[in-house]
Homo-oligomer: A and B are copies of this chain.
Amino acid sequence: MSQPSSSVPAAPGHRLVFDRYGKAEVRLVHVDRSSPQHELRDLTVSTALRGDFGAAYTAGDNAAVLPTDSQKNAVYGLAREQGVGEPEDFAGVLARSLLQTSPAASAAEITVEEHGWSRIAAGGGRAADHAFTRAGAEVRTASLVAGRDGTAVLHGGLRDLVVLKTTGSEFSGFPRDRFTTLAETDERILATSVTATWRYRDGAHAQGLDFGALWTGVRAALVTTFAGHHSLALQQTLHAMATAVLDAHPEVEEVALVMPNKHHFLVDLSPFGLDNPNAVYVAADRPYGLIEGTVRRAGAAPDAG
């Protein structure tokens, strides 16, 4: 190839103020065959590095740039060497390795999504040893930002947890501006798709927490609170769910929830001479309300992640 390099000098007067690079969405399936009942982990892993990579941006100098292809290979190689346990733990394994093999990195950022599988019933009340169905669209998440200075910010989470209540939800007492036509209601369907992210306390990895049990516990707190809470606003339900997590799990310092209000509108059947006593609804796609909130335990530090 004869084209000359045209590596652009950083134009005078501009500064690179943020940079990050890595490999996204590495699909990893790990089978543990050490017992007759196989254990399956199905993960989508993303890695990223931050640090002293400016020369690649400004001059095309890759001397410090550990290839994203190598980062992908590390996911597979480390899965073999060290196994794949809980997503939070595997994120730790990856971050430590990347910080070691990329001296220019000041921090490694790992995100892991786990796709659940359920054992197929094998008859006689037993679960199949080797056969599974996908457990649904819901995804378990974990993220770790690990600094070379030893800091670590670890989050557990989930997304696409879709929940619905047929009663126990009101919305009234709101202000009315000139564009307000909404009627007050003391009976509506409440439905949302929960995205939850919770931060574990510092040192969670070193303390040997059981992140699998914690994830199950947090999810249960979210779901049962949604089910049992009489809602005056989706905001209130969100807050109750976050609070329930903090109350149940001292290992969690902060809970962030993003909850779209997936509207279910009563259909007006009066043109057809029919009533509609909260029976027939249209489920709307767009637009949707979008309610967000983060609740932090007293004394916990702000998120440094």
Contacts and interface: CB of A to CB of B under 8 A. Distances in A.
Q: Top 8 closest A-B pairs, CB basis?
A: A60-B232, A136-B136, A131-B227, A134-B162, A101-B177, A18-B294, A73-B179, A60-B236
A177 B49 CA distance: 15
Nearest to A71: B179
B235 A30 contact: no
B281 A29 contact: yes
Given A1-B186, A27-B282, A71-B179, 17 more contacts: A10-B239, A13-B246, A15-B298, A19-B235, A21-B289, A21-B290, A27-B287, A29-B283, A48-B290, A57-B235, A60-B236, A65-B235, A74-B179, A120-B163, A134-B163, A134-B164, A179-B272
Contact of A189 (B31, B134, B181, B290): B31
A192 to B, nearest CB: 11
5 contacts: A12-B298, A14-B246, A24-B287, A31-B166, A59-B236
Nearest to A131: B227
Interface in A1-55: 1, 3-8, 10-33, 38, 40, 42, 46, 48, 53
A223 B239 CA distance: 40
A14 B178 contact: no
A66 to B, nearest CB: 6
Contacts of A6: 229-230
Given A167-B38, A243-B8, A133 B120 contact: no
A55 to B, nearest CB: 9
Interface stretch (A85-93, A147-155, A202-210, A261-269): A261-269
A235 B56 contact: yes
A77 interface: yes
A226 interface: yes
Interface residues of A, number: 157
Contact of A177 (B21, B61, B70): B70
Interface in A68-107: 68-74, 76-77, 79-81, 101-102
Contact of A175 (B64, B260, B280, B293): B64
Contacts of A224: 120-123
A280 to B, nearest CB: 5
A99 to B, nearest CB: 12
Interface in A164-204: 164-168, 170-182, 186-187, 189
A214 interface: no
Nearest to A26: B287
A267 to B, nearest CB: 5
Contacts of A16: 239, 293-295
